[in-house]
C-alpha cells in the first residue's frame, strides 16, 4: 500500500523560530494535533481537511508519498524547486504535530534524504514511542516544552520520556585509553547525528514554577542542550510577559544550562522569497 498523509500546506520560506532562524526550508505542514495550545498560530493545521495548499494551489488529501516527492521536484507543475540558486537548508516536518503520522514519515524521509535534503522535525515532544520509529532518520529536532499554563495539561513526564529516547539512542560507545566513553545526548554531535534544541514559548500566564521545572528537566537530560526562550507573539488574547520576567527566567536558566537564548518569533512572508 502506498503511504499517504493528511497535509495542511507545503511551502518554501525562511525558518522563523529558534537557533536556525533565517535559514531557507521547505515546510511540510502535517494536519492534526494532540494538543490545543492557547497561543497556537496555525489553528488550521489542527483540522484534518480534504485538501492541502501547495503555494496557494489546493490538492486533495490524503497525499501519497510519491505525489509529495513530485511536488518538491516538479516546479513546472507545483512551483517548488530544489535549486542550487536557492539552497535549501532542510525540510521542516511541522504541524500540527507531525509525529501523529509517523508511519508516513518513516516512508517519506529516506526518499527526501536521497535528494540530498536534511530533515528538521518540529514537535511538541509528547510522543516518545512515535519518535523511536523515526529518530535515526532525522538531522535536526526542534522540540517545545509545553507548559501547563498554555495547554491545561502537565506534560513534563511525557517530555522526559521523549528526551530520554534521544539520550538512549545517542550512546556512542568508544574505547579510548582502555576506558569506555559514552557520548553526550544528541544535541549537537558530529557524524550526522541529530541536533536538538528546546524551545519554551513565554506568555503573561507563564509561572516561575513551570520555568524551574523545565530547566531541571533539561539539566537532568543534558545541560548542553540549547534552550530558546521565545516570548509569544500576541495572538487570540494571549500576550507576552513583562520584559523583567523574561530576563529573570533567562538568568535563572543560565545558572543551570550552558546555552540559553532569548529569540523572538520572526515569521517571514513568502513574498519575493519563493
| pLDDT of 269 | 46
Give the rounded distance of the alpha carbon of 226 from its chain centre: 13
pLDDT in tens, 38-94: 999 988 888 898 999 987 789 999 999 998 888 777 644 444 555 566 688 999 999
pTM of the predicted protein model: 0.88
Strand partners, 93: 28, 121
pLDDT of residue 185: 42
pLDDT at 172: 42
Instruction: Give the confidence band of 194 by pLDDT, cuts at 50, 70, 90.
Output: confident
- Residue extents of the structural domains in the chain: 4-262
The Cα–Cα gap between 17 and 40 comes to 14
Assess whether pLDDT exceeds 50 at residue 192.
Answer: no
**Mean pLDDT taken over the chain:** 86
The answer to whether the beta carbons of residues 167 and 221 sit under 8 Å apart is: yes
**pLDDT score of 274 more than 80:** no
Higher pLDDT, 60 or 177: 60
pLDDT average, residue stretch 183-212: 76
Per-residue pLDDT averaged across 108-132, rounded? Answer: 95
Higher pLDDT, 83 or 37: 37
Backbone torsion region of residue 62, taken as left when φ is above 0, otherwise alpha when ψ lies between -120 and 50, otherwise beta = beta
Enclosing H/E stretch for 210: helix 208-221
* Tens of pLDDT, residues 207-258: 999 999 999 999 999 999 999 999 999 998 999 999 999 999 999 999 999 9
Q: Is the dihedral of CA 85, 87, 93, 96 positive or negative?
A: negative
Q: Which fold has domain 4-262?
A: TIM Barrel (3.20.20)
Q: How far is Cα 33 from Cα 190, in angstroms, rounded to an integer?
A: 32
For residue 190, pLDDT beyond 50: no
Amino acid at each position: 500500500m502506498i503511504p499517504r498523509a493528511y497535509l495542511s500546506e507545503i511551502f518554501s520560506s525562511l525558518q522563523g523560530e529558534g537557533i536556525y532562524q533565517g535559514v531557507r526550508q521547505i515546510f511540510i505542514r502535517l494536519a492534526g494535533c494532540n494538543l490545543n495550545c492557547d497561543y497556537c498560530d496555525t489553528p488550521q493545521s489542527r483540522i484534518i481537511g480534504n485538501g492541502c495548499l501547495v503555494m496557494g494551489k489546493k490538492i486533495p488529501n490524503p497525499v501519497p508519498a510519491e505525489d509529495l516527492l513530485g511536488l518538491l521536484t516538479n516546479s513546472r507543475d507545483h512551483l517548488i524547486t530544489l535549486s542550487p540558486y536557492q539552497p535549501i537548508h532542510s525540510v521542516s516536518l511541522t504541524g500540527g504535530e507531525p509525529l501523529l503520522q509517523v508511519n508516513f514519515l518513516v516512508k517519506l524521509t529516506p526518499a527526501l534524504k536521497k535528494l540530498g535534503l536534511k530533515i528538521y522535525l518540529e514537535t511538541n515532544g509528547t510522543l516518545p514511542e512515535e519518535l523511536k520509529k523515526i529518530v535515526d532518520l532525522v538531522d535536526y529536532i526542534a522540540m517545545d516544552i509545553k507548559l501547563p499554563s498554555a495547554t491545561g495539561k502537565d506534560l513534563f513526564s511525557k517530555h522526559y520520556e521523549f528526551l530520554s529516547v534521544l539520550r538512549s539512542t545517542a550512546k556512542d560507545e568508544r574505547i579510548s585509553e582502555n576506558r569506555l566513553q559514552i557520548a553526550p545526548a544528541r544535541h549537537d554531535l558530529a557524524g550526522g547525528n541529530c541536533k536538538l534544541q528546546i524551545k519554551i514559548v513565554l506568555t503573561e500566564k507563564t509561572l516561575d514554577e513551570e520555568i524551574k521545572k523545565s530547566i531541571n528537566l533539561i539539566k537532568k537530560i543534558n545541560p548542553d542542550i540549547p534552550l530558546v526562550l521565545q516570548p509569544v507573539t500576541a495572538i487570540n488574547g494571549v500576550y507576552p510577559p513583562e520584559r523583567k520576567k523574561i530576563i529573570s527566567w533567562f538568568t535563572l536558566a543560565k545558572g543551570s544550562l550552558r546555552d540559553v537564548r532569548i529569540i523572538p518569533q520572526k515569521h517571514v512572508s513568502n513574498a519575493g522569497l519563493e
